[in-house]
Each structure stands twice: as C-alpha cells, then as structure tokens.
Chain A
C-alpha cells in the first residue's frame, strides 16, 4: 500500500521516507520511531528501485543512437543531457538500493520482533525475531492477515485497535508455556502517510529473562532481610529483658548473655557469607591465583572439622592419588569450598554415619568428591540447591546453624576457578558432591594419574 502510493514520486522518495521516519520518531519516542522509520524507508525504496531501473535502461537505449547519429548539434546536446541524467539517476538508484539492503539488514538483525501490516491487517514485513517469537516463518507470513499468522490474539487485537483509532497501543502478554511462561511486551503504532493511517507496526520484546531476574532479585532482598531480622529480633528481645528486669537471677542472666552472643555470631557468619558471595560475584575469574595442592587443602579442612565429626561419631575418610594434584587457585577460597561441602556432609549425616573425601584427577581436570551417608536430596530440589537461601527444610537448616549460602558460595568459587560442581544423590542413601577444576600441570607420573579408578588410594582413618 505504501509502495504503490509512493510509486510516482521517485525523485523525492528517499527524502519523504526519511522525513516521515523522523516525524514518526518525534511522535512515538525514539525507539519505536526508529523501527517505523526503517520500515518506511525499506518499503518505499524497494518500490522505487525496480520499475525505475527498467525505464532508465529503455531511455538509454533510445538516447544512445541519437547521440551517435547527430554528434555536435542541438539534438546531440540534448541526448548527452539525457544520458547524463540517466547516469545520475542510476547512481541514485544504486544508493537507494544499498540503503534498502542496509535497512533490511538492520531490521533482520534486531533482537526485537517487528511486524508491519497494511490497512487490511495483511503482513507487509516481519523480521526474523518476530518469526521466532511467534514460532512462524516470516517469508510464509507475508501477505497474510495477521490474525491468520498468529493465535496470540492480543496482537491482532492491538493492531485492529491501532488502525481503527490511529492511537498507539501497548500491552504486556503472558504466554502460558511449559516449562516456563513467556512474557512479551507489545507496542503497536500506526503507519501514516500524511494524515491517513496506512497500516500499523508492532514491536515485540521478550521480557521473560528480565522478569525472571527481577523475581530472583526480589526474592533475594526479601530473604536477606528476613535472615538478618531474625537474629536481630532475638538479640533485641534478650537485651530488652536484661535492661528491664533488675531482679533477674544470675544464672538466667548468664543464659541470656550466651544467647545474645550466639545470635550475634550467627549474624556475623551471615554477613561474612554475604560479603564472600558479593566478592566472588564481582571478581569472578580474577582471584589471587597460585599453584595449590588439593590434598593439603582437603587435609586442612578435614582437620578443622574433625571435632564436629567426632562429636557425632561420624567417620571421615580421605583418599588421595599417588601423584600430587595441583590446581591454579586461591588457597583460602578453595579451603572454604571444601570446608563448606564437608560441613554440610557432616551436618546432614546421622550419627555414626560415614563421610568420604576423595581427590582424583585425569589429564586435564582435578576432582574433589565429598560423599556422605546422609538424608539425600530429593530430585526436585537438586536443580535449585545452589541458589542463594534455597533450603529444603528451613527449620532444620537454621537449627544446624546454616546461613543458606554455603552451596551458593561453593558454586561461585568453582565458577571463579573455571570449574563446576555437580551432585548425585539418592534420597535416604546419601549425596555426593563432585567439584571439577582445571588441572594446572600434568605431573611426573602422568600415566598413573590418568584414570581415577587406577589411582592408589591412601585411606586414613581420622
């Protein structure tokens, strides 16, 4: 429609197209306006280029012989003028065609979906992103009414409204999909030629990920506030009682002091975990790296938690390969990683249970596996267990002194070292967390270390 209307105006076509685009920009806001301008330019220049080029070729073939026959006289001058004009026009057409290609490239490269329709709601243009969002092939849709193209009925409704009223429409659409709903924002604006509405353009933007991130952030803020508030409320309660009650017996007073101290310690652990996480997230990959022997890290962690394990009569066994397994990393971060995993393993294993820590390696990677005979993790929790503050059993986690951040810290330390962490768990039987890190060097007796199964294990009962 736009095309046929502009057909006759080839000399000013580009200028009009640009002018209309600029006008629309001012009216629609920079972003949507840009898309409208692109579309108008693309449509008009496309319509211009083809018939004009054909006519110019005709003109040239007519003027050519004229020039040869009557060189030098008036007619010759006229024919040269015509030829000169033909040349200039051809240059202009080339420019317009190049601009059109450029605009189409820009449209197809956009991450937002753009659909233009004429007054009859037939698709004039649909870019690749729009096809992807609506799950259709753009080329097949050209010329079809928009209400045949998609059954997301909000889109045809917005277009009809825009064409009928000449006003722009915006809407947020939630498409119920599995496994996750899709959230799309739609902006519809009229296409105008002078004052008449000649169609509409719709821009579709996928907000699913953004919404997801917003949700995570909201949850995080809510969680942090809650986690901070709990110990603060307790401390305040005990402190107020101490201040108000002057006749309190010394034993009770002592117990209250102890409780305040415990809550303060919990608060401090939580804050330091949060700071660790923040540091890891802001400096992923730029830790202070040095060659670290994993066996030493594991030995140190086990020694630190030995008392806790013995208190619950849990046997902790370690096994190391015959060769040194060295990674490039931050020793204190790696120490925290192993400690967090081991601490969890001990906490979630019933009394008289067992915990194994194994270090192994292959040519490129080093592995630390922490296995327990604990309660196990239900499959439906396994995906989310590394999220901050995600707890399977809130009451039990707090009772055991957890902050809900331990595994999240483990995950981030792994990521910062270019590694990953996986888990394998059977409910009621136990869980194995396996950390995989890039190995720094192939050590002397590489052949021995190649297959973890062949590695001689040095069990030590602690």
Chain B
C-alpha cells in the first residue's frame, strides 16, 4: 500500500463519518419537526459545532494532500470532490440546525392546521440524503443519477406547502408566527435536497471524470 493510499483511505473514512453525522442530524431535526419532539431538536442544536469542526479538519487534510503530493486523475478528483462534499455537508448541517430551532419553537406552541405535504417532503428529503451518501460510499453512479432526478418532487411539494401556509395565515392571523416557521422549515428541507443532489453530482464527476451539473435543473 502506497503511503498516499493510506492517507486517501483515511480521508474517505473522515468524509463518510461526516456524512454519517450530518445524516443523523437531519434525521433528528426532521423527526423533531414532524413528531414535535423538543428534546431531539436540542440534540441537533448541540452537535452542529462538531460537524463544523469536522469540516475544517477535512479541508486541512485535503490541502495537505494537495500540497505534499503530485496528485493526478482519480486521486486528484477524489480530493477535490471530498472538499466540495465536505462543504455541502457542512451547509446541510447548518440547515438541519435551522430546522431544529424552528421545530423547537413549533413544539412549544400549539400545532397549527395540518400541512400534509411537509411530512411528505421530510420523507423524500430523508431518502435523498440517505441515497446520495450511499452513492458516495459505494461510488455508485446509477444511484447518484437517480438522486439527481428526485428533488423535482420536493420543489413541487414546497410550492404546494407555500400555498397551504398562505391559506392557514389568511384564515387565522393568530397562526402567522407558527405558519412562517413551518414555511421556513419547508424551505430549508428543499435546500437540503438541493445540496444532497450536489453530492450525487459530485459522485458522478468523481467516478466518470465528467461534470453533470446544471443538466438536471429544470
């Protein structure tokens, strides 16, 4: 085993660990939101700084590898991809923390009328995040391409939620604060799906050396 291989292996381990942390954070934030569990929201808010620290570590590792080794082809693409994925994951962690903060607020106040689509968005986002990370672990481009197509549904549902929330606010102005928080959650979830799609696109780039970004955007 080359010395660089060991380092690259360690980097892969590191980025997958970060992926695992972010996925867990998103799962918790979503569950806190949908099931109104304030204690889970607090856990998410407490762990986001760990994710941020981890991103810094990964970035440092990547820069060190780029500086010390004359990387080419797959190895170079791998390091570049890890930097990008690390960045996306960190953003996802932040969004997850945002959702958790809103979930915590919503859990402490009486529920507003059901916005059916929010639960559905949450389910799809959870799946997209899981699959994009699965694609990254297995370097599975087929799976990655499936993920790229899946966030259209989230966009559609987000728009539907927007309309529902507007209607709730119009019916009862007392719900405005809660309705806005709900809408914001829907927006953050949609952003998470976008970032997960980025990761899937990066996987295709890593394996095939060709960028497929800006192709799936309708």
Q: Which residues of A contact B (CB under 8 A)?
A: 145, 147-148, 151-153, 156, 176-178
Contact = CB atoms under 8 A, between A and B. Distances in A.
Contact of B21 (A147, A148, A153, A178): A153
Given A153-B24, A176-B24, A176-B27, A147 B35 contact: no
Contacts of B137: 148, 151
11 contacts: A147-B16, A148-B137, A151-B19, A151-B20, A151-B24, A151-B137, A152-B20, A153-B17, A156-B13, A176-B27, A178-B35
A147 B138 CA distance: 12
Contacts of B19: 151
A332 B16 CA distance: 63
A440 to B, nearest CB: 45
A147 B17 contact: yes
Given A151-B133, A176-B27, 5 more contacts: A147-B17, A151-B137, A153-B17, A153-B21, A176-B40
Contact of B17 (A156, A176, A178): A156
A176 B24 CA distance: 8
Contact of A145 (B13, B31, B34): B13
Contacts of A145: 9, 13
A153 B19 CA distance: 10
Contacts of A156: 13, 17
B28 interface: yes
A250 B28 CA distance: 63
Contacts of B40: 176
A323 to B, nearest CB: 47
Interface residues of B, number: 18
A374 B23 CA distance: 47
Given A145-B13, A147-B13, A151-B133, A178 B31 contact: yes
Contact of A151 (B9, B23, B28, B31): B23
Contacts of B31: 176, 178
Contacts of A147: 13, 16-17
Nearest to B31: A176
Task: Give the secondary structure class of A's interface.
Answer: loop
Contacts, number: 31
A384 to B, nearest CB: 15
Contacts of A152: 20
Contacts of A177: 27
Contacts of B9: 145
Interface string B68-96: 00000000000000000000000000000
Nearest to B26: A176
A365 B28 CA distance: 46
Contact of A148 (B16, B23, B27, B34): B16
A135 to B, nearest CB: 10
B20 A176 contact: no
Contacts of A148: 16, 137-138
Contacts of A153: 17, 20-21, 24
Nearest to B28: A176
A145 B34 CA distance: 34
Contacts of B35: 178
A178 B35 CA distance: 9
Nearest to A140: B138
Contacts of A151: 16, 19-20, 23-24, 133, 137
B158 to A, nearest CB: 21
Interface string B22-49: 0110011001001100001000000000
A192 B23 CA distance: 34
A152 B137 CA distance: 13
Nearest to B126: A178
A147 B9 CA distance: 11
Output the residue of B19, B20, B27, B40 with the most chain A CB within 10 A: B20
A95 B137 CA distance: 41
A176 B20 CA distance: 13
